[in-house]
Amino acid sequence: MSVFGFHFAALVVVLPLISAAFSALLRGKNLPWALTTIVSALSFYMSIQLLIEVSANGPLSYEMGSWAPPWGIEYLVDPLSGFMLMIISGVSTGVLLFARESIAKEVPEKQLGMFFSAYLLALAGMLGICITGDAFNIFVFLEIMSLSSYVLIAMGAGNDRRALTAAFQYLIIGSVGATFFLIGVGLLYMMTGTLNIADLASRFSEIEDTRPVRAAVGFLIVGIGIKLALFPFHIWMPNAYTYAPSIVTAFFAGTATKVSVYLFIRFIFTIFGIDFSFGVIQLTDILMPLAVLGFLSMSAVAIFQKNLKRMLAYSSVAQLGYIVLGIALANETGLTASIVHIFNHAIVKTGMFLSVGCMFYVIGSPYLKDLNGIGQRMPITTFGFVLGGIGLIGVPLTPGFISKWYLILAALERGTYVSYALVVAIVFSSLLAVIYIWRVVEVAYFREPPEGSTKTEAPLSMLIPTWIFILGSFYFGIETSINVGFAKAAAAFLYGGQ
């Protein structure tokens, strides 16, 4: 890697952070969008370079301002964070390609500069959380991401005023989560005197039996759980996803909660350590019931929804249940399942939300009752949505199958009766997914379109990015060396790197 390439670790975050300020100054429909897209694409490029570098030569440490850790802030790219950087910047870039027409219709033109400024801040926040090796720095980036996402969600007020209350509720609950996180980090700092993650990890075992540390662990698990929309902390999420502008929903569905999953994995595996998390405090007993209840209950709720975006939001909560279950299973296969599902769900769900974005663009409503016969009115979009749905259900040759395959293997690896119950629960919730996807198919293909409706497709600039995600999902369902390969490497790193 070149000398310049070494600085990618800083630039990948700093570039969107600084560009956010410039975007706020730009006016018009195209300029802020173009700037954001280019910046996001550059971040994507740098993320890929970093990931290649890390895969070849192992973790990469970057000292901010040349202050050596643990005193200075360290940026650390390891297999997991490299993989996350690629997912986040990749999804962001794909969504932005889609965004131009879509957002111009949903947000007033004079606010677009500010909108994309917030978007870039959210992107910088997410990338920062994943790359930084400093616990307090994580909190800072978490707040950058959260505050900008409150703004982005509130921007949906143009479509539906309820976006404002949704954003406000997210703000309250999100702040509670962030505060808990900060309390947890503060307690850890009190006990260890360090904020550097590697340093924290090495000192953790000495103080793990102290009461402040146990309290810190509780605050951290719950705090991150809130940000992650872990059942039953998910209450902010369906509203936020439903009323946000289409591209914001698509972007967050693929990335925002996944970043929190990353934090979960980072704290549980790297800082607390496997022995403490699953041996001493028995995290499995807390997380597994929540995960299973989450994916069963939320899939059931999704069946009854009348708003397509809301249905997909509940489905996202359910999918997060799968991811958390993989973590809770406490074996390497399970962690692989979680990490690979972060990727797979990101690509599938983003594709589906973009399809819904196309429908919203043309029809102007995400309600199922307004989508009768959409299969005839927008055949290309609807077909894309259905293919995405097949991926979500987990039909073989789709990414959903890969994730569930590993998840079921991991459950069986535990080799208890609980394993079989888990397998049944996973399969059963897949059947629930069949039902809620089928409801859309029925509305789309078996109902007559309303009188006088014409066949209108969304513009190509929206269809092509949507289909990139849909076709990409099938590509990664068949040729799995990239997603499964990196996920396995990351899981092995977290298990072996202790």
Residues in contact with other proteins by the rule CB under 8 A: 168-169, 172-173, 176, 180, 211, 214-215, 217-219, 221-222, 226, 232-233, 235-236, 238-239, 281-282, 285-286, 297, 300-301, 303-306, 314, 395-397, 402, 405, 408-409, 412, 423, 427, 430-431, 434, 478, 480, 484
Q: Whose Cβ is closer to other proteins: residue 76's or residue 335's?
A: 335
Return the number of the residue (114 or 280) whose C-beta is nearest other proteins.
280
Report DSSP state, residue 275: I
Tell me whether residue 215 or residue 464 sits nearer to other proteins (CB atom).
Answer: 215
Q: Across 10-84, where does the E strand assignment appear?
A: 60-63, 74-77
Q: What's the min distance (Å) between Cβ of 177 and other proteins?
A: 8
Task: Provide the residue count of the chain.
Answer: 498
- Element holding 317 (H helix, E strand): helix 308-328
CB count within 10 Å of CB 219 equals 21
Nearest CA-CA partner of 495 in 256, 326, 242: 326
Q: Shortest distance, CB of residue 184 to other proteins, whole angstroms?
A: 11
> Minimal distance in Å, beta carbon 72 to other proteins?
32
Q: Which of 54, 34, 52 is nearest to 42 (CA)?
A: 34
- Closest contact distance (angstroms) between CB of 467 and other proteins is 19
Choice between 314 and 474, CB closer to other proteins: 314
Output 109 or 209, the one with its CB closest to other proteins. 209
For residue 85, which of 141, 126, 55 has the smallest C-alpha distance?
126
Q: Which is nearer to other proteins, 133 or 294 (CB)?
A: 294
> What minimum distance in Å lies between the beta carbon of 109 and other proteins?
31
Say how far apart CA 291 and CA 354 lie, in whole Å: 27
**Residue with smaller CB distance to other proteins, 25 or 172:** 172
Report the residue number, 150 or 219, with the smaller CB distance to other proteins: 219
Shortest Cβ 321–other proteins spacing (Å): 14
Whichever of 12 and 217 has its CB closer to other proteins, that residue is 217
Tell me the closest approach of the beta carbon of residue 87 to other proteins, in angstroms: 20
Closest separation between CB of residue 431 and other proteins, Å? 7
Q: Return d(Cα 83, Cα 39) in angstroms, integer.
A: 19
**What residues are paired with 77 via a beta bridge?**
60
For the stretch 85-124, what's the b/e string if a residue is b when 16 or more beta carbons lie within 10 angstroms of its beta carbon?
bbbbbbbbbbbbbbbbbbbeebbeeeebbbbbbbbbbbbb
Which helix H or strand E contains 183, and what residues bound it? Answer: helix 162-192
Closest alpha carbon to 465 in 391, 380, 389, 399: 380
Cα 229–Cα 234–Cα 236 angle in degrees, nearest 5 = 105
Min CB(229)–other proteins separation in Å:
11
Long-range contact set of residues 138-143: C-beta below 8 Å, sequence gap at least 24: 138/185, 138/263, 139/178, 139/181, 139/182, 139/185, 142/178, 142/181, 142/227, 142/263, 143/178
